[in-house]
Structures are given as structure tokens and as C-alpha cells.
Amino acid sequence: MLTRMSSLFLRTLRDDPADAEVPSHKLLVRAGYVRRVAPGIYTWLPLGLKVLRAVEQIVREEMDAIGAQEIQLPALLPREPYEATGRWTEYGPNLFRLKDRKGGDYLLGPTHEELFTQVVKGEYSSYKDYPVVLYQIQNKYRDEARPRAGILRGREFLMKDSYSFDLTDEGLSESYAAHRAAYVKVFERLGLDYVVVAATSGAMGGSASEEFLAVAPTGEDTFVQSPGGYAANVEAVTTTAPPAIPLEGLPEAQAHHTPGTPTIESLVAFLNGAGLVDGEGRGREFTAADTLKNVLLKTRAPGATEWTLLGVGVPGDREVDMKRLEAALEPAEVALLDEADFARNAFLVKGYIGPVSLAANGVRYLVDPRVVTGSAWVTGADKPDHHVVDLVAGRDFTPDGTIEAADVREGDPAPDGSGPLSTARGIEIGHVFQLGRKYADAFALDALGPDSKPVRITMGSYGIGVSRLVAVIAEQNHDGSGLVWPAAVTPYDVHVVIAGKNEEIMTGGAALAAELEAAGLRVLLDDRKASPGVKFADAELIGVPTIVVAGRGLATGVIEVKDRRSGERVEVALSDAVAHLAGRVTG
Amino acid sequence: MLTRMSSLFLRTLRDDPADAEVPSHKLLVRAGYVRRVAPGIYTWLPLGLKVLRAVEQIVREEMDAIGAQEIQLPALLPREPYEATGRWTEYGPNLFRLKDRKGGDYLLGPTHEELFTQVVKGEYSSYKDYPVVLYQIQNKYRDEARPRAGILRGREFLMKDSYSFDLTDEGLSESYAAHRAAYVKVFERLGLDYVVVAATSGAMGGSASEEFLAVAPTGEDTFVQSPGGYAANVEAVTTTAPPAIPLEGLPEAQAHHTPGTPTIESLVAFLNGAGLVDGEGRGREFTAADTLKNVLLKTRAPGATEWTLLGVGVPGDREVDMKRLEAALEPAEVALLDEADFARNAFLVKGYIGPVSLAANGVRYLVDPRVVTGSAWVTGADKPDHHVVDLVAGRDFTPDGTIEAADVREGDPAPDGSGPLSTARGIEIGHVFQLGRKYADAFALDALGPDSKPVRITMGSYGIGVSRLVAVIAEQNHDGSGLVWPAAVTPYDVHVVIAGKNEEIMTGGAALAAELEAAGLRVLLDDRKASPGVKFADAELIGVPTIVVAGRGLATGVIEVKDRRSGERVEVALSDAVAHLAGRVTG
């Protein structure tokens, strides 16, 4: 059915919304695709809904193609299954919780591992039933601390989530590979510029995990790449530890009075000016990388009320990256110490904390992987204005383990030896996880094997942010004048602008639009009583890939066809118009 | 894509679910269409989702056909708009309310009048913009006191809700008529047996309102019909008042000692044996219809904490119908008095309450419309064991108004004089309302008129219970063996049963199924290693309209085609099978 702008529920805006920072947010609001209702909660107007449905359909087709079966779970869910896996608590304030009239606890589903596990357990019992892959395309709810960028990070958002159920680890690997391939197809069909990176599995549990990131300077995720093909979310980058150093013959640790050295920089300058010499009497040169910076934090397990102290040691030339640190400690909460914490723990000498007193006071201490046995460090001496030099790991202190907390830098070596890392930003558009047996264990999901013994099922979980993709596509497909939709998801194939108010142009333009519709194209007809200038600007803003101008040329049997992306214009004879435009759209 | 039952996520059940009472609930669960997650909250399994989507698509097509434009509002909504119209409170415990991490109040949308009004106000400003009709198909949430019958009355359910916005009352009438006609088309396409009845508008506000009820003995709604074409929800039936009677010459009211008359029946028997005579000395004959039964209730306005007493008087031959009474008093809550209420109000002589003491004590008193001026009644004398005879309305007591509280009976006259009423039961499947300006007033939704003066918009609101329709169709389309889907919504066109385990039958059946798919039919292939008996029973239960048996006949080039509804079977040559079946389906 031909859509006429004279009656379409669409009003474009001249100005960017006040709260918008990223291009997709500005343009989707200005072009009348979405409207804000509350923070992170949006209404889809007619054009936006069309794009959303197109994206959804592409995702559906690729899921169906790998034999995944579509079902639909509720969004309003009882507490019990999430209690069984601990996620009722682990999700913390990100979960929307509510009570029903009888006081029963409910939540709005943020992801559905528990329910899918229960659904499969309800239907299947024999090994012959497996494998199975189920999916749904459904509104999800997460009470984000910082909903941002319009539909890019919403609190109500459309997601495709699927779950694979296999008898064996090999089966899980196959299901995972099938999903990964399907995701590649989806994102290729959408024409996205994206990377697949190794990821941490976060609150989902499980082992292997990769993220699909759309490359975008406005992205919230930082990822790294190497010339040799390594790619990872920055949270997932592992640090290559240097080889351990034999302890024999290493110099003794020595405490030094180091007044006026509140920063690593001032400490290094002080030491280099202190005339320290090595075993052979040569003057020693220190850099920030020789220092060990100890950051004191507190962590709290989900549902716990007590905080526990944690010391983290990183080389002094690096900062602690809180996102990496938090990812490493998930699902525990992490916070910096406040004055009261220091007051309660008098052994913590602020600015001069060293591994020795942490150990003496039973504080868990995790270090950067570069802190290997035999490495010697300049670090706090647990005494005001004092540092210790040549404190050797594995001799003078023994950390409780390692942690990926230090920042990753442009030029760091890729962990697989494939060269130096470069960093870029992206937006997470898909995530594939090998969950393993975490959820099957929680609900005792077993299949009766051929030998009548139970086989614990192993699962995968796979998500695509469908509504977010609309924003991501806009983020990668726009210019100074507006949106530029790829053919795969455009709300219309052709935007016919009637440029002129005389009867002949009006009827000629409408007739052409009707012919195009009859030929199977989806046509947006601008039949409004507005100036051609307003109409052209709106057409650019709305972003239908092919714009047809029906104006004065109609009198001589000519229309103008403009390619929205390239800006290229051609004149086409009216008699060839349908064939020409049909060719563009299908071609 | 051909669906093979060997891998379809479907397990039929032998037994009815324990909580199921109505046929649709039993069959949709047994046949593997839906699964319960929590009270009134269900999962749609693959077959159920297909039927749901088919119903949704029919609704969408008919909405598009009347020029309604699809948008999608959030389900998670901020409190403020509902506060502005009072519905945050009025909805009472039926509303799912929750708080976000910042303590902001939210609700899960039960219906979206407020939000649609705001959406239109956000985009439109001039009279030239109107009229507009918008709709969405979306999960809605109501915390029903008694979720029942599976998906028939759920707490999370899929609904199509649309809203019309007009400049004039005539425009609203046209929008309303267009919706009504579209609804007729939807329900005709679904092949439903339904009626359109006059309805009360309930919590929605507004004036004209009709309900579409699917006729079903298991329905929760009672409706009445007359031979002359009157039809109404029983809550909406109005009582025809008899003409008033001149007061002159009516006998005096007289109190009588009437011991041992706890019931209307015993009171009538007592009076008929008491030797009362009329003015001319003739013995008087009383019936229950001569008595006035006063029922004491208490009501509470939405959000109020205090209850208010209310007396309701109905002829003694009728019962108070609580659903009619509640509809008449909506949105106020209604409850019967408890002992404490009687104790607090000593003037209420239980069993002998009369209009006189109600008036004396300032209790609001509403009566059945049959209690007209001049009508004389036997009623309570406000004294234990005493009744008064010939208490005349408009002389001895003056009610505060009338109320439709008495039950409606088979044989009562239709209010429009179209004959005696008969009653039946139905399930509400659609509802059309002329809301008028209630919501436009709440949000000051005005259009700037041609004379630059604001014109207040008038609205309509229209709903179809999409997920409920799946149950309703099942309710009207089943037999002792299972479901029988109409062609318009069947999950598959043809169910091919491979009846036999030898290689020839297996491959022959699969080849036939593939051919049918290639011809454009949607095929469910039962390729399981189960007995033909199990497969036939499942095919009957699942309810695909055409069942093909590929069995031993294949060897001689013959298949059996069974019509699920009629049970009729025909043998068809394999060579004609595709043409025959395609003909049946498009048929």
C-alpha cells in the first residue's frame, strides 16, 4: 500500500534533541523514527518500526536457516528460576523486580537461560531428543545505570536470544560454530563494518565466548586487533607473562627514605637522583615500569552484606582499568576504599602500601601477570615516606594470584604473538557463549542416555541486539544531511518527491508512485503541500536509498533519480521509470 | 522449510493439565502449543507461535486496510501519564507497578490511552494533521485476580490496541464505524461464531461502546439477545421503567408484625395468610414482585481510604447481580457489609431494613428503575419482625436515584421493545469505544483550527485480544480427538503422516512432503519412529486441517487424504497428490 506523507504519522524535527550525543540518536529522533518516553524507553514510530521489523526478519531467517526453532517466552517471570541460579541476586540493580497482587516476586526478563533450560527439561527426556536449538525475538528489560544514546542502550529493547542444548562438548562446539556463522551472515546482510573479538563471559558463566562489535567511534566497548588477526574486547585481553627469573644472586630488598614522592614520576626521579648502584657498582636507572603500584579495593560477593579488602598490584607505568578489573572479578561488586576503610585498617599506610603488610594482615593480593617470580620491584614500604627497592616476587612476597587489571595499550604485544595491538571502539551487536553445564546443573537437565544413564546437557547462549542494530546501522550509514539506509532494511525502496504544486505534477507524481507500487516496490510518496526545498531536505533526512523527483520535467516526460548515498543524479524518461527503478532496487 | 516432527520441539501429552477446565486450555497444552510458566503467564511453543502470528497478521491486515498506522509503544511505562488521568490509582491491584533503580515509579501497560494521546500531541498541532488512527500489537499486562483458562485470561497477553483522533464527533463516529467494520472482517476471516453487543465502557470512560463476544458456553460474559436484533452484554442491559402512578387515593402505609419471615418467600406466604384486604374489602394477593428487597453495601472511590454506605433496592423477585452492580458503580469498589459494619450502624436492622431509616440516617439509596413514583411496596419496617405494606415511592420515601443492579432474566423485555430476551455466554474478543474527550482533556490535546482557535480532539479506543483469540478459535474448533484449526490460522496446511517403517514408505512420504512444500504448501511431516496409531492420534490432537497418510498404499501409488474436521477420507493417486492438496488448501 502506497504511503502518502500527507497522512503519514511523521513529523521531522529541525533541531537535534537536547539529550542526544551520537549521530544515530540525533538522526533517528529528528527523522521521526523513534520518540523518547522515559530514560532508555522509546516509542517506535511508523518508519522506525519498519526498519526494526526488517532487521528482525533478517535475524529470524538466518536463525531458521540453522534449524533453530522459534518460540516465545514471557517477559514477566517468576523469581524462583533466577533464585535457583543466583542471578536474582547477582543481577543487582540491573534487574527490574516487582511484586504481584499476592506478594509473589517477579522480574522482567533480562535474558532467559533459566527459562529455556526449564522449557527443554519440561519437554525432552531422551538422548534421542537432542540436540535442539531454540530462540525467541522479544523485548528484554535491564535497568541500566546509564541508559544512553537513544535506542543504542535502552532499558526496554528487542533482542534475539537463542540457546543450544547438546549431549556432548563436540555438539556444543558445532552449535556454537553454526551460530557464529549465522551471525556473520546477519551482519553481512546488514552491510555492517564489524569485528569478532574474544570476550569475557561476564555474568553468563561459561567458557568460550566471542563478541561481535560494530566498529564505531561512539562505541562504548574498546577492542584491540593485531596485524596477525588477533582481536579481543579489551576486557578479554590476556597479558603475556615474561619468563620467571632465578632467585639466586638477586640483590637484597632495601627500604629507603623517599620524602616528597607522592607520584610514580616523582618517586622514579628521586631514585634516579639517589645514587643507587648495582652489584657491580654501576649507577642504577629506574623507570615507572620498575615500580609496583598497589591499589586497595574492596569487593562484595552478590547478595553478601560484608565487603572484603583486596590489593591489586600493577606495574607503575600502567593504570588500573576499572572495566577490566570489574570483568575479572565479576560477579562480585568492586569499590574503592573510602576514608573510613582506611581508618578501620590502620596497617594501610596510604601512598606507601606494600605487599608485605598486606600478607601480614591477611589481605588478598592479586598482581599483574608481569609480576613473575624473580621480578624485583620498587614499592611501598608500609611506612610513611618510605619505599622498598628490590622487593622480589616469590622471595620477599608471594601474591595470591594474578589478575588482568592493568590497562591495555596501543603497541602492547598480542597474547598469541601475532604482533602489536592497535585499539579501536565498537558497539556490541552480538554475543556467542559456550555456557557449558552451569544452567543444566542448576536445573538437573539430563537426557537418558542409550545405556539408561543420565547425560548432563551442555548449553550455549547467543544474543543479537535487534533494536540496537537499528541504531548501529544508522551510526554507520549517515552523512551530514541525514540517514542513508542500506537496501536490506530501508523502510521504503523509493521516495517519490512531488516537486511542484500544479495539478499536472501532482497527478503525474502520484501516478508514477502508484505504478511503482504495482511493480512491487515499496513507495513513500511526498504529496504534501510544502516547498520542494522542505521536501528534499526531509527526503535526505529520512534516508530512503533512492529518491525520485517528479517535477517540471514531467511535462517533457522526464524524472530525476537520485542515489541518496552517492548523491549521483540521473534523468530518466518517464516511460523507462518503472524498469529503471525496479532494476535499482532488485539489482 | 519442511518441518519434521522428528526434530520439532513438540511433545504431546496424554493427560489434561490438572488446572485446566475449558477445552481450549486442555487441548492447547496437550497438543504442545503453550506451556504454563506462572499463573496467567505462558510460553508459546513452535506450533502455538505460528497460530498466534497468523492471527496477528490477519488483525494487522485489516487495521492497515482502514488506514490505521502501526507504531510500537513501550510496555514499561512511567507513572506520570497514568497519574494525570487517575488510572494509576483507579486500576487498583490490576496494575503491575514497579520501581526503577532510582526509585521512579513505573507500570506495565494494561492499555495505552495516555501514551497514545501524548504521542499524537508530540507530533501534531494543526487541524490539517487530523484525523489519524494509530495502533500497536503488543504484550499487555494485567494482574488479574483470577487468571484462568490458560491463555484465555492471562496476565501477560498479546493485544492489538488502536486509537482514533478526530476533530469532530462525526469524525469519531466514522472512525468508530471503520473499526467496527474492520473487526467484523477479522472475526469473519477467523470463522468465529460471535455477536456484537452493547457494552458498558468500564474504566475506559466515554460513551458509545460495543463488545464483540465469541459465543462459548465456557465464556465469562453473559449477554442477551432479542428476536428483534437487540444484543447487549448483561452489564449493559437497561431496565424499562413502567409509567409512574398518580399518588392520589393510594392506601396508607401500614407496619405489620411479621414474625418468622426471614425470606421473601416466607414473607409473601405470611402476608397472603394474614387476611389483608384492599379498599373495597377484597382479599389481597401478594407476590415476591410486590416486595422491595434492600441490600446494604459499602463503596469506596479509587484511592480513597474510607468506605461509604449504600442501600440498593430491587424487587423481591430478583437477585442483585453483582457484576451489573459493580459495572454500574465503576470505578468505585463495592463490598458487602460485615458484622462490624452492622455493629457500627445500629439503625440497620438486619433483615428488616427499610428506605425510611436509610433516609433518616443519610445513607444513599438507589433503586431498580421499576421502583417508580406511585409504586407501592412491602418492605422492611426498620424494626425486628416487622414489615411495612403499601410504602409508596415518591410519597413515603424518595430514592436518590436508580441503578441497574437487578438480575436480567430470560424472557425480560428488550429495552428497545424488540421482544423477549434470551441469554447466552460469550468470551470478549474485541471492544470498540467512543472515548470522547476524556484523555484529550487530561493532556490538553488540541489542534489549531482554521480560525487559529484550538479544537479539542475527540478519541476512540479499540482493542482485540490477539492471544486470547487463539484460545477462542480452539474453543470453537475442536472435537473429542483434538483441535481442528481453520485454514486461516492453521500452523501448517498439510500434516503428512508416514505410516510404516520400511524404507520405501519413509522415503516416499518424505518425497511427497518435499513436493508439497515446493508447491507452496506449509507441511508438517511426521517422520518419527513411532507406531501409526500414535502418529494418527497426534495428528488429530494437533489439528492441521488436512491429514495425508503415506502408508502401504504408496507401493501401488495411492495416498489417503483425511479432512480433519469432517473425518472424511479419500484415496488419491500419488501422481495427483500435489494438485489435489494444493486445491484443497487454496480452495
* B14 falls within a domain: no
Q: Please write the tens of the pLDDT for every residue from B306-358.
A: 899 999 999 999 999 998 998 888 878 899 888 888 888 888 888 899 999 89
Query: At B355, which CATH number?
Result: 3.90.960.10
* B559 falls within a domain: yes
Burial of B516 (0-12, 13-18, 19+ CB in 10 A): buried
Share of chain B above pLDDT 70, in %: 98
Bridge partners of residue A197, in order along the sequence:
A211
Q: Distance between CA B118 and CA B251 in Å, rounded?
A: 61
Instruction: Return mean pLDDT, chain B.
Output: 92
Largest CA distance in chain B: 99
What's the start-to-end Cα distance of chain B, in Å?
A: 22
**Based on the domain organization, do A377 and A435 belong to the same domain?**
no
Cβ–Cβ contact A32 with B under 8 A: yes
User: Under an 8 A CB cutoff, do A7 and B67 touch?
Assistant: yes
The closest alpha carbon to B357, from B403, B317, B322, B391, belongs to B391
- Give the structural domain span for A308: 254-402
Query: Cis omega before residue B131 (within 30°)?
Result: yes
Pairing of strands A132-141, A69-70: parallel
* B52 falls within a domain: yes
Residue in chain A lying closest to B45 (CA): A71
Kindly state the average pLDDT of the residues A9-21. Answer: 90
**Based on the domain organization, do A97 and A221 belong to the same domain?**
yes
A79 pLDDT above the threshold of 50 = yes
Q: Mark which residues 73-132 of A lie under 8 Å from B by CB.
A: 73-78, 93-94, 96-98, 100-101, 104, 106, 108, 115, 119, 122-124, 132
* B410 falls within a domain: no
* A537 falls within a domain: yes
Residues of B in contact with A139 (CB under 8 A): 75, 139
Q: Work out the minimum CA distance from B115 to partner chain A, whole angstroms.
A: 8
Count how many domains chain A has. 3
Measured CA distances, A188 to A182, A225, A488, B95 (Å): 10, 20, 10, 43
**Based on the domain organization, do B168 and B269 belong to the same domain?**
no
**Based on the domain organization, do B282 and B327 belong to the same domain?**
yes
Q: Tell me the Cα Rg of chain A.
A: 30
**Based on the domain organization, do B272 and B361 belong to the same domain?**
yes
pLDDT of residue B204: 43
User: Under an 8 A CB cutoff, do B143 and A76 touch?
Assistant: no
* A212 falls within a domain: yes
pLDDT of residue A273: 86
State the pTM of this model.
0.86
For residue B427, the SS3 value is strand
Pairing of strands A364-367, A401-402: parallel
Neighbours of A126 (CB within 10 A): 11
- Helical packing angle, B23-30 and B466-476, nearest 10°: 100
The closest alpha carbon to A126, from A458, A454, A460, belongs to A454
CA A111, A115, A119, A125 dihedral sign is: positive
The closest alpha carbon to B160, from B133, B132, B131, belongs to B133
Domain end marker among B370, B402, B434: B402
Q: Please write the tens of the pLDDT for every residue from A519-558.
A: 999 999 999 999 999 999 999 999 999 999 999 898 899 9
Q: Work out the minimum CA distance from A103 to partner chain B, whole angstroms.
A: 11
The closest alpha carbon to A459, from A185, A89, A118, A82, belongs to A118
A331 pLDDT above the threshold of 80 = no
**Based on the domain organization, do B327 and B183 belong to the same domain?**
no
Residues of B in contact with A75 (CB under 8 A): 75, 139, 156
**Based on the domain organization, do A365 and A271 belong to the same domain?**
yes
B574 pLDDT above the threshold of 70 = yes
A490 pLDDT above the threshold of 90 = yes
Q: Please write the tens of the pLDDT for every residue from B249-308.
A: 899 999 999 988 888 999 999 988 888 888 788 888 999 999 999 999 999 887 788 899
Q: Distance between CA B119 and CA B134 in Å, rounded?
A: 10
The number of C-alpha atoms within 13 Å of A286 and in the hemisphere containing its C-beta is 28
Residues of B in contact with A123 (CB under 8 A): 9-11, 32, 45
Hey, of A28, A45, A156, which one would you mutate to test binding to chain B, going by the most B CBs within 10 A of its CB? A45
Q: Please write the tens of the pLDDT for every residue from B437-489.
A: 999 999 999 999 999 999 999 999 999 999 999 999 999 999 999 999 999 99
Phi, psi dihedrals of residue A159, rounded to the nearest 5°: -135, 145
Counted across chains A and B, CB pairs separated by less than 8 A come out at 138
B208 versus A224: the higher-pLDDT residue is A224
H-run or E-run covering A327: helix A322-329
For residue B27, the SS3 value is helix
**Based on the domain organization, do B272 and B299 belong to the same domain?**
yes
pLDDT of residue A18: 85
pLDDT of residue B206: 47
DSSP assignment, residue B2? Answer: P
B392 pLDDT above the threshold of 90 = yes
For residue A335, the SS3 value is strand
CA A313, A314, A315, A319 dihedral sign is: negative
Residue in chain A lying closest to B41 (CA): A74
Contact of A355 with A399, CB cutoff 8 Å = yes
Phi, psi dihedrals of residue B495, rounded to the nearest 5°: -110, 105
What are the residues whose beta carbons fall under 8 Å from the beta carbon of A583, sequence distance 6 or more? none
Hey, of B7, B9, B139, which one would you mutate to test binding to chain A, going by the most A CBs within 10 A of its CB? B9
Q: Which three cell numbers stand for residue A201?
A: 563471559
pLDDT of residue A206: 47
Q: Distance between CA B225 and CA B209 in Å, rounded?
A: 17
Residue in chain A lying closest to B70 (CA): A46
Q: Work out the minimum CA distance from A69 to partner chain B, whole angstroms.
A: 7
pLDDT of residue B207: 62
Q: Please write the tens of the pLDDT for every residue from A150-166.
A: 888 899 999 999 999 99
Least reliable range by pLDDT among A126-130, A331-335, B503-507: A331-335
Kindly state the average pLDDT of the residues A20-45. Answer: 94
Q: Which three cell numbers stand for residue A76?
A: 514477566
**Based on the domain organization, do B259 and B339 belong to the same domain?**
yes
User: Under an 8 A CB cutoff, do B119 and A10 touch?
Assistant: no
Q: Work out the minimum CA distance from A459 to partner chain B, whole angstroms.
A: 16
pLDDT of residue A73: 97
pLDDT of residue B233: 85
Pairing of strands A458-465, A422-436: antiparallel
Kindly state the average pLDDT of the residues B420-425. Answer: 91
Instruction: Return mean pLDDT, chain A.
Output: 92
pLDDT of residue B279: 75
pLDDT of residue A203: 43
The closest alpha carbon to A460, from A235, A127, A212, A204, belongs to A204
Q: Mark which residues 38-57 of B lie under 8 Å from A by CB.
A: 38, 41-46, 49, 52
Q: Distance between CA B320 and CA B406 in Å, rounded?
A: 5
Phi, psi dihedrals of residue B429, rounded to the nearest 5°: -115, -20
pLDDT of residue A145: 86
Pairing of strands B446-448, A569-573: unpaired
Share of chain B above pLDDT 90, in %: 72
Cβ–Cβ contact A12 with B under 8 A: no
Question: Grid cell 533453530 — which residue?
Answer: A68
B205 pLDDT above the threshold of 50 = no
Residues of A in contact with B91 (CB under 8 A): none
Query: At A164, which CATH number?
Result: 3.30.930.10
Contact of A322 with A297, CB cutoff 8 Å = no
Contact of B446 with B459, CB cutoff 8 Å = no
H-run or E-run covering B298: strand B292-300
Burial of B437 (0-12, 13-18, 19+ CB in 10 A): middle
**Based on the domain organization, do A462 and A494 belong to the same domain?**
no
User: Under an 8 A CB cutoff, do B143 and A100 touch?
Assistant: yes
Q: Work out the minimum CA distance from A192 to partner chain B, whole angstroms.
A: 25
B211 pLDDT above the threshold of 60 = yes
For residue A478, the SS3 value is strand
Query: At B575, which CATH number?
Result: 3.40.50.800
The helices-and-strands tally (H runs, E runs) of chain A is: 15, 32
Read off the amino acid at residue A45.
L
B/e letters for A77-114, b = 16+ CB within 10 Å, e = fewer, are bbbebbeebbbbebbeeebbbbebeeeeebbbbbbbbb
Cβ–Cβ contact A141 with B under 8 A: yes
Q: Work out the minimum CA distance from A304 to partner chain B, whole angstroms.
A: 19
* B63 falls within a domain: yes
Q: Work out the minimum CA distance from A560 to partner chain B, whole angstroms.
A: 29
* B59 falls within a domain: yes
A348 pLDDT above the threshold of 90 = no
Q: Please write the tens of the pLDDT for every residue from B120-175.
A: 999 999 999 999 999 999 999 999 988 878 888 899 999 999 999 999 999 999 99
Residue in chain A lying closest to B138 (CA): A139
Q: Which of B49, B75, B145 sits opposite A156 (nearest CB)?
A: B75
**Based on the domain organization, do A56 and A163 belong to the same domain?**
yes
Bridge partners of residue B72, in order along the sequence:
A44
User: Under an 8 A CB cutoff, do B108 and A139 touch?
Assistant: no
**Based on the domain organization, do B261 and B172 belong to the same domain?**
no
Give residue A295's region: left, alpha or beta (phi > 0; psi -120 to 50): beta
- Reported ipTM: the value is 0.86
pLDDT of residue B202: 47
Q: Distance between CA B258 and CA B249 in Å, rounded?
A: 26
For residue A54, the SS3 value is helix
